[in-house]
């Protein structure tokens, strides 16, 4: 009986220690941004938001990320052209859908490369995406550079047009975010 109780206590202690290694860490606001790239045959558009909130579940000692979530206020993207930005907000119906959010369902890594799969909700539509990223670890911080693409039509967004020629359907994103460990 004593051996059974001792074994249960050891298992509970081991599980507690294992679970305690992961902690939720919010992103550093001044070191986080998201940029989208939209291509039209006549020009490319680049627009950036610094209003990105993200949290990772991380085991800093093992340099392992377990989960990721992020939210961005879509009305904060700035391309440097207020008319273009206003039209973009109309196209994605930013009043009805002011945020885009992502929650991971799986994270896998190899060396400094991390692949994160999860649910992206944008324009009121949720789709599974996979983003690839590179991590840079230091003693007190991890910085992540990630990228992914979506189809505008898959998220039920009518492609804007210039001179009756629509933009490409592919909308690319890059995300840079840092976390204090």
Q: What is the CATH number of the domain that holds 158?
A: 2.40.128.110
The per-residue pLDDT for range 17-56, each reduced to its tens digit, is: 455 499 999 999 999 999 999 999 998 999 999 999 999 9
Q: Are 67 and 60 in contact (CB under 8 A)?
A: no
User: Is residue 15 domain-resident?
Assistant: no
Domain tally, the chain: 1
Residues whose CB is less than 8 angstroms from the CB of residue 52 and which lie 6 or more positions away in sequence, other chains included: 27, 32, 33, 34, 70, 71, 72, 175, 177
pLDDT on residue 29: 96
pLDDT on residue 19: 52
Which domain range does residue 72 map to? 22-180
d(CA 179, CA 31): 9
Residue 13 scores a pLDDT above 80: no
pLDDT on residue 111: 87
Residue 10 scores a pLDDT above 50: no
User: Is residue 17 domain-resident?
Assistant: no
Q: Are 35 and 46 in contact (CB under 8 A)?
A: yes
User: Is residue 102 domain-resident?
Assistant: yes
Residue 83, sorted as left (phi over 0), alpha (psi -120 to 50) or beta, turns out to be: alpha
Residues whose CB is less than 8 angstroms from the CB of residue 96 and which lie 6 or more positions away in sequence, other chains included: 124
pLDDT on residue 151: 98
């Amino acid at each position: 009986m004593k051996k059974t109780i001792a074994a249960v206590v050891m298992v509970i202690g081991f599980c507690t220690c294992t679970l305690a290694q992961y902690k939720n860490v919010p992103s550093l606001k001044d070191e986080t941004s998201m940029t989208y790239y939209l291509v039209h045959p006549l020009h490319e558009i680049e627009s950036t938001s610094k209003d990105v909130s993200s949290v990772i579940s991380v085991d800093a000692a093992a340099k392992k990320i377990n989960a990721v979530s992020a939210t961005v206020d879509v009305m904060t993207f700035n391309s440097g052209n207020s008319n273009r930005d206003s039209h973009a907000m109309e196209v994605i119906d930013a009043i009805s859908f002011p945020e885009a959010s992502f929650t991971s369902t799986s994270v896998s890594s190899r060396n400094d490369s991390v692949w994160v799969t999860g649910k992206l909700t944008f324009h009121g539509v949720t789709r599974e995406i996979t983003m690839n990223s590179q991590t840079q670890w230091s003693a007190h911080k991890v910085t992540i550079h990630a990228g992914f693409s979506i189809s505008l039509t898959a998220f039920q967004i009518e492609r804007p047009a210039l001179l009756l020629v629509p933009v490409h359907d592919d909308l690319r994103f890059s995300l840079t975010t840092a976390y204090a460990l």
